[in-house]
């Protein structure tokens, strides 16, 4: 292979990182090769990376241009993203003819398969390194499609997303190399000669993998599936959310660059941007070439994919209703400030943000004395209000509402109960058109789950319900029912009672939900760290897969054995 | 735990075996702890095992009795198995009320989950050891339900099936222990204190696992799913084929015995026998408690399960059309005798038996000179005829036809083309009512795949088609189409050409089919060895899962994480 990026060069650069990643998914201790501080990039930082000004300039340079990826089957151009902060992005992307592009992608599989798991992993790591070097550029792209504040777009959309991609590569490599490349098999036959066979085992990808991206976390929610599929030998067609194309288009461009330099067909990664209202996800999902689908978005389309794309392995992250059970605490201040941050971060527009706070009507015990339901709710409201009292800080935490639907839900929520904390509009001096809102906290006392209560549906956005319950036992019954019927990406609980702790754990074991207990410091229930935490469980209706585990990668390829008489 | 079988005792007895199994699935060298010679059991053999006479006596003693398993929700008794060799078995089994039994099974999960992956694996190994000790009894049960000849029933239904169960336990244990039980996570924060969390990770089963057994290999095709699910924390409800209940009922009895002795709820394994024509698989498969289904059988019901049992993870092995490509050979005699055995074993009633032999019309090159299509077919027919010329040997290889449908297909096949080898009835002196038949080989020259040709559908039983093709290249085109459209559990090929070898490998990689090349000795394309071979690939229409690999176990449980501030 006369490629610019030889296996040897890739191995020298990336094999140590791969080994560290493999170690991290086994120990689950903290680890990341991707610095999360913006100042770590640029001169003196990550080698070859763009610094703050360079990243911003790169982002500005791509605006109002046509992003030609050189893909076969390009039958036109489309675009039209408008930043939640106001500006039109004006970038045009290739529109695809799937009858041309999909066969080209399938045709790229043979040499990618033949390259083997290690080379595939190393190429993926090179792609991630190129992405990492352009984190500042991507941060602006994520900010101006998702509405995240810059620092969050930088961290969650940059290093944390890159961690997710690397974690998936590590799982994919580990899974494919559980079976050796070859084995000699010799079965004793008593006094006769043993039976002997030479066997080879080849990890073979399944076919085109379709990534259906989301609006709020285009890279964070996309990279796990993208890299899991690519590393296991599958071409990946990236279909971004129409309002969040740019971060994934830039990703695809870097992937195609690296694949070419490494001597592979760039069509192993391609972009499928769509025209307004075209809805191409549905038709692409049913194409016979598509054997794997990764999806993040609404439950209705996720359920449709699971039920209808029978030719494909379908991995979905859908909607859920996240609950925090508040029973008691020995750090009342810590609990309040931790919850306030969780409810505020990115205006609650995270699939992991708590929605329902279950509080006993008779109150809770705390290190600051007994607190009634009303007091707890008031104190939470005050904590949120205090956290977001300063507009600059509020802008930095909240970001902008991603679309008018979120704003509409926020405005409607106030009518659902007694408003403990009203939402307020925050002015953004840099982007006057941005819609920035603080969370609303609504008290629900007496709402019964069987009345079709609003709190039992996902109300995506900065809306929380402080639900009064008869007792902690009732809270656990409601928690179990919520997870089982509606799903949950996260569960939180505060308690000083070992019995309650055990009981809430049992509910989460039974119903397969990830639990955070007594968080009062700088880690929040809505955050998951790659290599250590699992994002979702795959065992309740919120998601049919966890990011990332063996099940997420093991069915993206099949092992084909060839036996020969030895 | 005051159980008779403590963890320590189980560990002392079985941990070394588990470690060897874990090693075997990594190296894929030959290994088995279960002797396959009938004389290895009884006095002086496997400790505590039943010898030939004891096993036969145990089998005879269970005939015409009621097998009371002590299951809750037993609302009557059912039975009615008739041996393919003639005799009625007369065993009665509990009939279940799922509204009582399923909640009892679900209720057994908590303590089984709390026991952890190692104890679950060790308990499974103890169950397998008890089964192994009663291999002689189970061999008769398999013989008189499947129609397999005794030695095959003994080996495939005994040690080989036990190997499959153990292999699944090893995969399940490995998968659950990839993630540690706990981790301390500490994220640096520059000059501030690091963020610290203590995390625990619990493998939690998903719910009741339903095993839908088959008629021909009740234990071999059943044990992988049964033990994979049990070892990953799930109760298993065993729904045998109504004509092959006894081997699985005896298995369930032993499992319940061991679970009780180890201090667990015996309802972790239960039997669901059905009344004639009741078809309970369909209603059980849709029960909300059922979260996992393992199925072996027809494509129509397998496809139905995949499409309809959306609440469950569904693992299917269905029908396929297995092909052997004959291009050339340097051991013509070896090829003929190997093929003759493959076509004859258990009257071709294996999902792995070759059906279509693709032979170039202009003939092939061999070490015995060039052979025309007609000569090759005649020589295969003669090899089969020679192998089965002696009635005693024929009975020992063929066994009995499992049901009248197989006989009807066999009889109809002769009309599909020119008969190269006619089937003949073989008398069985021990069982005069047994229907024993040698295979038919039918020549098809000029049959086009698009004519709805019979050879492109599975013709389960002792029927093979010698299909004349224009060239080896045509054979590979037909092979690709057959795998893609109809599925294949096995592919065989004979060639002396490296180019052809490479081409057939590429087809199998592309279409995900397991390939055996140039088998001319004592290993046959229809045999797969646990720990080394994969049974099916899970990547073509014949099966959506392989036995056994990571994908077969990784979604039978979910990892639930609990994070606590450290």
**Quick check: do A50-84+94-180+206-319+547-565 and A323-517 share a fold?**
no
Helix axes B52-62, B135-146, angle to 10 degrees: 60
Q: Which residues of B touch A312 (CB under 8 A)?
A: none
Contact A517 B562 (CB under 8 A): yes
Question: Token pair of A492, please?
Answer: 């939180």
pLDDT score for A358: 98
pLDDT score for A1: 45
Cα–Cα distance for residue pair B235/B408, rounded to 1 Å: 39
Contact A565 B26 (CB under 8 A): no
Cα–Cα distance for residue pair B153/B173, rounded to 1 Å: 29
The residue that leads in pLDDT, B454 or A14, is A14
Residue A102 CA: distances (Å) to CA of A111, A245, A260, B223: 16, 20, 18, 40
Is residue A514 within 8 angstroms of chain B, CB to CB? Answer: yes
Q: Reduced to 3 DSSP states, what percent helix, strand and coil does chain A have, rounded to the nearest 5?
A: 45, 20, 35
Cα–Cα distance for residue pair A409/A347, rounded to 1 Å: 12
Phi-psi map region of B327: left, alpha, beta (phi>0 left; psi -120 to 50 alpha)? alpha
- Dump the DSSP string for A482-522: HHHHH--S-EEEE-S-HHHHHHHHHHHHHHT--EEES--SS
What is the chain B residue with the closest CA to A204?
A: B509
- Between positions 99 and 118 of A, the ones with CB within 8 A of B are 109-110, 113
Is residue B566 within 8 angstroms of chain A, CB to CB? Answer: no
Question: Token pair of B194, please?
Answer: 């690091």
Contact A562 B523 (CB under 8 A): no
Contact A561 B113 (CB under 8 A): no
Backbone angles phi, psi at A86, to 5 degrees: 125, -60
CATH superfamily name and code, A50-84+94-180+206-319+547-565: Aldehyde Dehydrogenase; Chain A, domain 1 (3.40.605.10)
Q: Which candidate, B372, B378, B387, places its Cα nearest to that of B337?
A: B387
- Best of A509, A520, A548, A549 to disrupt the B interface (most B CBs within 10 Å) is A509
Count of CB contacts below 8 A, A vs B? 193
CB of B232 closer than 8 Å to CB of B30: no
pLDDT score for A446: 78
Mean pLDDT, residues A152-180: 98
CB of A84 closer than 8 Å to CB of A402: yes
Is residue B554 within 8 angstroms of chain A, CB to CB? Answer: yes
- Dump the DSSP string for B230-295: HHTT--EEEE--TTS-HHHHHHHHHHHHHHHHTTS-GGGEEE-B--TT--HHHHHHT-TTEEEEEE
Distance to chain B for A278, nearest Cα, Å: 28
Q: Is the peptide bond before B290 cis (omega within 30 degrees of 0)?
A: no
Contact A307 B310 (CB under 8 A): yes
Is residue B513 within 8 angstroms of chain A, CB to CB? Answer: yes
Is residue B242 within 8 angstroms of chain A, CB to CB? Answer: no
Cα–Cα distance for residue pair B355/B338, rounded to 1 Å: 14
pLDDT score for B1: 44
CB-closest option in A179, A534, A560 to B508: A560
CA–centroid distance for B495 within its chain: 29
Whose structure tokens read 């996260």? A490
**Please, is A405 exposed, middle or buried when counting C-beta atoms within 10 Å of its C-beta (0-12, 13-18, 19+)?**
exposed
The two beta strands, B418-421 and A425-426, are unpaired
Cα–Cα distance for residue pair B143/B138, rounded to 1 Å: 8
Spatial neighbors of B405 by CB under 8 A, at least 6 apart, are none
Taking the domains of chain B in order of start, what are their residue ranges? 7-27+41-317+546-565, 323-517
Question: 3-class SS at B360?
Answer: strand
Q: Which residues of A touch B558 (CB under 8 A)?
A: 512, 537-539, 546
CB of A268 closer than 8 Å to CB of A259: yes
Cα–Cα distance for residue pair A483/B223, rounded to 1 Å: 32
pLDDT tens profile B75-99: 999 999 999 999 999 999 999 999 9
Say how many C-beta atoms besides its own lie within 10 A of residue B391's C-beta. 15
Residue ranges with strand state E in A5-49: none
Alpha helices (H) in A246-298, listed in sequence order? 246-261, 280-285
Residue ranges with strand state E in B83-166: 92-96
Cα–Cα distance for residue pair B359/B478, rounded to 1 Å: 11
Confidence check: pLDDT of A530 > 70: yes
Q: Which residues of B touch A512 (CB under 8 A)?
A: 204, 206, 558, 560
pLDDT tens profile A549-566: 999 999 999 999 999 998
Q: One digit per residue, pLDDT tens: chain B, 566 residues?
A: 457 899 999 999 999 999 999 999 999 999 999 999 999 999 999 999 999 999 999 999 999 999 999 999 999 999 999 999 999 999 999 999 999 999 999 999 999 999 999 999 999 999 999 999 999 999 999 999 999 999 999 999 999 999 999 999 999 999 999 999 999 999 999 899 999 999 999 999 999 999 999 999 999 999 999 999 999 999 999 999 999 999 999 999 999 999 999 999 999 999 999 998 899 999 999 999 999 999 999 999 999 999 999 999 999 999 999 999 999 999 999 999 999 999 999 999 999 999 999 999 999 999 999 999 999 999 999 999 999 999 999 999 999 999 999 999 999 999 999 999 999 999 999 999 999 999 999 999 877 777 667 888 999 999 999 999 999 999 999 999 999 999 999 999 999 999 999 999 999 999 999 999 999 999 999 999 999 999 999 999 999 999 999 999 999 999 999 999 98
- Between positions 197 and 216 of A, the ones with CB within 8 A of B are 197, 199, 201-202, 204, 206
Cα–Cα distance for residue pair B355/A19, rounded to 1 Å: 46
pLDDT score for A2: 56
Question: 3-class SS at B516?
Answer: strand
Cα–Cα distance for residue pair A7/B102, rounded to 1 Å: 54
Question: Token pair of B88, please?
Answer: 């009625």
Contact A559 B537 (CB under 8 A): yes
Cα–Cα distance for residue pair B150/A137, rounded to 1 Å: 71
What is the chain B residue with the closest CA to A36?
A: B189
Q: Which residues of A touch B523 (CB under 8 A)?
A: 195, 197, 563, 565
CA atoms within 13 A on the CB side of B127: 32
pLDDT score for A452: 67
Contact A517 B549 (CB under 8 A): no
CB-closest option in A30, A180, A512 to B185: A30
CB of B180 closer than 8 Å to CB of A26: yes
Question: Token pair of B160, please?
Answer: 């080989």
Mean pLDDT, residues A233-255: 98
CA atoms within 13 A on the CB side of B154: 19
CB-closest option in B533, B559, B562 to A561: B533
Cα–Cα distance for residue pair A335/B88, rounded to 1 Å: 70
Contact B558 A546 (CB under 8 A): yes
Whose structure tokens read 């004349």? B468
Contact A523 B565 (CB under 8 A): yes
CB-closest option in B306, B517, B522 to A195: B522
CB of B375 closer than 8 Å to CB of B359: no
Its sign, for the CA torsion A554, A555, A556, A557, is positive
Three-point CA angle B193, B194, B200, nearest 5°: 140
Contact A537 B518 (CB under 8 A): no
pLDDT score for B2: 56
Is residue B560 within 8 angstroms of chain A, CB to CB? Answer: yes
Contact A523 B561 (CB under 8 A): no
CB of B254 closer than 8 Å to CB of B134: yes
Question: Token pair of B68, please?
Answer: 């009371």
What is the chain B residue with the closest CA to A533?
A: B561
Class of domain B7-27+41-317+546-565: alpha beta
Contact A560 B529 (CB under 8 A): no
Residue A99 CA: distances (Å) to CA of A102, B71, B510: 6, 57, 20
Contact A30 B187 (CB under 8 A): yes
CB-closest option in B180, B520, B537 to A565: B520
Contact A562 B515 (CB under 8 A): yes
Whose structure tokens read 């941005």? A434
Contact B199 A27 (CB under 8 A): no
Is residue B484 within 8 angstroms of chain A, CB to CB? Answer: no
pLDDT tens profile A268-301: 999 999 998 899 999 999 999 999 999 999 999 9
CB-closest option in B517, B533, B558 to A512: B558
CATH code, A323-517:
3.40.309.10
What is the chain A residue with the closest CA to B206?
A: A539
User: Which residues, in sequence order, are bridge partners of residue B565?
Assistant: B197
Is residue A195 within 8 angstroms of chain B, CB to CB? Answer: yes
- Between positions 280 and 319 of B, the ones with CB within 8 A of A are 306-307, 310
Three-point CA angle B264, B266, B272, nearest 5°: 150
Q: Which residues of A touch B519 (CB under 8 A)?
A: 563, 565
The kind and range of the H/E element at A226 are helix A220-231
Count helices and strands in chain A by DSSP H and E runs: 18, 21
Q: Which candidate, B98, B59, B528, places its Cα nearest to that of B247?
A: B59
Q: Any idea what DSSP says for residue B159?
A: I
Distance to chain B for A187, nearest Cα, Å: 6
pLDDT tens profile A425-460: 999 999 999 999 999 999 998 777 776 678 889 999
Q: Which candidate, B450, B456, B380, B475, places its Cα nearest to that of B419?
A: B380
SS3 for B374-419 is HHHHHHHHHHHHHHCCCHHHHHHHHCCCCCHHHHHHHHHHHHHCEE
Question: Token pair of A221, please?
Answer: 């929610």
- Between positions 24 and 53 of A, the ones with CB within 8 A of B are 25-30
Contact B186 A30 (CB under 8 A): yes
Distance to chain A for B268, nearest Cα, Å: 16
The two beta strands, A92-96 and A74-79, are antiparallel
Cα–Cα distance for residue pair A102/B390, rounded to 1 Å: 56
pLDDT score for A539: 97
Cα–Cα distance for residue pair A168/A236, rounded to 1 Å: 14
Is residue B537 within 8 angstroms of chain A, CB to CB? Answer: yes
What is the chain B residue with the closest CA to A493?
A: B564
Cα–Cα distance for residue pair A9/B521, rounded to 1 Å: 45
Say how many C-beta atoms besides its own lie within 10 A of residue A297's C-beta. 21
Distance to chain A for B551, nearest Cα, Å: 5
Residue A175 CA: distances (Å) to CA of A170, A545, B171, B315: 8, 16, 12, 19
Contact A549 B551 (CB under 8 A): no
Q: Which residues of B touch A521 (CB under 8 A)?
A: 195, 565
């Amino acid at each position: 292979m006369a490629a610019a990026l030889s296996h040897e060069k890739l191995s020298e650069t990336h094999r140590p990182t791969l080994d560290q990643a493999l170690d991290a998914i086994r120990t689950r201790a903290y680890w990341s090769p991707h610095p999360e501080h913006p100042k770590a990039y640029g001169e003196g930082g990550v080698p070859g990376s763009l610094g703050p000004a360079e990243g911003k300039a790169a982002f500005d340079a791509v605006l109002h241009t046509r992003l030609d990826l050189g893909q076969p089957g390009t039958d036109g151009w489309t675009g039209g993203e408008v930043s939640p902060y106001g500006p039109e992005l004006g970038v045009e992307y290739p529109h695809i003819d799937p009858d041309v592009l999909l066969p080209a992608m399938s045709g790229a599989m043979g040499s990618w398969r033949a390259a083997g798991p290690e080379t595939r992993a190393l190429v993926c790591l090179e792609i991630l390194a190129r992405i990492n070097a352009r984190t500042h550029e991507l941060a602006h792209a994520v900010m101006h499609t998702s509405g995240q504040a810059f620092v969050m777009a930088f961290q969650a959309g940059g290093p944390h997303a890159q961690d997710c991609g690397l974690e998936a590569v590590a799982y994919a490599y580990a899974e494919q190399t559980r079976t050796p490349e070859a084995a000699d098999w010799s079965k004793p036959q008593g006094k006769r000669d043993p039976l002997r066979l030479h066997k080879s085992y080849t990890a073979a990808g399944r076919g085109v993998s379709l990534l259906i991206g989301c609006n709020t976390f285009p890279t964070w929610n996309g990279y796990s599936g993208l890299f899991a599929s690519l590393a296991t030998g599958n071409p990946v067609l990236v279909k971004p959310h129409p309002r969040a194309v740019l971060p994934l288009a830039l990703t695809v461009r870097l992937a195609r660059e690296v694949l070419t330099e490494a001597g592979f067909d760039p069509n192993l990664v391609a972009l499928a941007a769509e025209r307004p209202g075209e809805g191409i996800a549905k038709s692409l999902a049913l194409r016979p070439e598509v054997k794997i689908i990764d999806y993040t978005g609404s439950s209705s389309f996720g359920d449709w994919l699971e039920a209808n794309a029978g030719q494909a392995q379908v991995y979905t992250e859908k909607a859920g209703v996240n609950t925090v059970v508040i029973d008691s605490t020995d750090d009342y201040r810590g609990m309040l400030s931790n919850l306030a941050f969780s409810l505020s971060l990115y205006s609650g527009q995270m699939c992991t943000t708590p929605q329902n706070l279950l509080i006993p009507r008779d109150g809770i015990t705390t290190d600051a004395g007994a607190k009634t339901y009303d007091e707890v709710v008031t104190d939470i409201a005050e904590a949120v209000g205090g956290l977001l009292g300063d507009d600059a800080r509020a802008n930095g935490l909240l970001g902008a509402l991603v679309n008018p639907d979120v704003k509409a839900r926020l405005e409607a929520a106030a009518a659902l109960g007694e408003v403990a904390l009203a939402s307020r509009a925050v002015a953004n001096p840099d982007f006057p058109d941005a819609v920035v809102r603080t969370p609303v906290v609504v008290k629900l006392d007496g709402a019964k789950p069987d009345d079709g209560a609003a709190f039992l549906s996902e109300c995506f956005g900065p809306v929380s319900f402080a639900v009064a319950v008869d007792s902690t036992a009732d809270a656990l019954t409601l928690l179990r029912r919520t997870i089982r019927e509606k799903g949950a990406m996260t569960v939180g609980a505060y308690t000083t009672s070992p019995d309650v702790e055990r009981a809430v754990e049992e509910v989460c074991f039974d119903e397969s939900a990830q639990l955070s207990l007594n968080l009062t410091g700088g880690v929040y229930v809505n955050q998951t760290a790659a290599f250590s935490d699992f994002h979702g469980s795959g065992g309740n209706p919120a998601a049919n897969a966890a990011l990332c585990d063996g099940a997420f990668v093991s069915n993206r390829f099949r092992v084909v054995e060839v036996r020969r008489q030895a």
